[in-house]
A and B are shown apart, each in its own frame.
Chain A
Amino acid sequence: GENVEQHPSTLSVQEGDSAVIKCTYSDSASNYFPWYKQELGKRPQLIIDIRSNVGEKKDQRIAVTLNKTAKHFSLHITETQPEDSAVYFCAEMTTDSWGKLQFGAGTQVVVTP
């Protein structure tokens, strides 16, 4: 994988609203796209991932969509809650790169009550 661009860098949402973070990548061979959540002072943790043979994946209030043609993927958080406040990182990998992830720069999400 090569560069991953992530937008926006900060996102402030009202509790209950939806949040969307978008990432674009340049390597057409990329085929694995995880999202990590890092709360303040904590370690990054995987929250959802998607592989290139799937266009969308959902897990309760979070979902990820992948558009391989346009080379972008997005994280959607619905019904946001204060505990969703964190930095979110997208990443991509080409599975023949032996597990090396290329991370985006991160999005600081703040959910206000």
Chain B
Amino acid sequence: EADIYQTPRYLVIGTGKKITLECSQTMGHDKMYWYQQDPGMELHLIHYSYGVNSTEKGDLSSESTVSRIRTEHFPLTLESARPSHTSQYLCASSALGGAYEQYFGPGTRLTVT
């Protein structure tokens, strides 16, 4: 079944550690996005990509980086985690052209101690 997958679903990690949040989709979509969301609160776009080798920063400044080497894979990396990075991270994807619906993954709940 076509879907968006995120791993891990929950992560508790100490300050200063490097982490990578994984996102993959089997939707066949070209566009992918990363949002940061405190539970039930506003969604903030932190990174997006239109396709392979295309990445852009979003509206919310973030210390994370992303890569897009394969169409279906869009990992997010934090080089040195801090308590201020504690949040939920949602990955999403959408098709090119006139279909604008974004499909979201289940999210990764990150806690930095």
Contact = CB atoms under 8 A, between A and B. Distances in A.
Interface in B70-113: 90, 94, 98, 100-102, 104-107
Given A44-B90, A105-B41, A106-B40, A100 B101 contact: no
B74 to A, nearest CB: 14
19 contacts: A32-B100, A34-B101, A40-B40, A43-B104, A43-B106, A45-B104, A49-B101, A87-B40, A89-B42, A89-B43, A93-B100, A95-B98, A98-B50, A99-B100, A100-B48, A100-B58, A101-B102, A103-B42, A104-B42
A43 B109 CA distance: 12
B23 interface: no
Nearest to A31: B100
Contacts of A99: 31, 48, 94, 100, 102
Interface in A24-42: 32, 34, 38, 40, 42
Nearest to B105: A43
Interface of A: 32, 34, 38, 40, 42-46, 49, 87, 89, 93, 95, 98-106, 108
Contacts of B21: none
A106 B44 CA distance: 12
Given A99-B94, A100-B45, A100-B48, A108 B40 contact: yes
Interface residues of B, number: 20
A32 B42 CA distance: 19
Contacts of A49: 100-101
A68 B45 CA distance: 25
A93 B48 CA distance: 15
Contacts of B40: 38, 40, 87, 106, 108
Given A105-B41, A106-B41, A44 B101 contact: no
**Which residue among A34, A43, A103 has the maximum number of chain B CB atoms within 10 Å of its CB?**
A43
A38 B39 CA distance: 10
A84 to B, nearest CB: 16
A46 B102 contact: yes
Contact of A98 (B31, B90, B98): B31
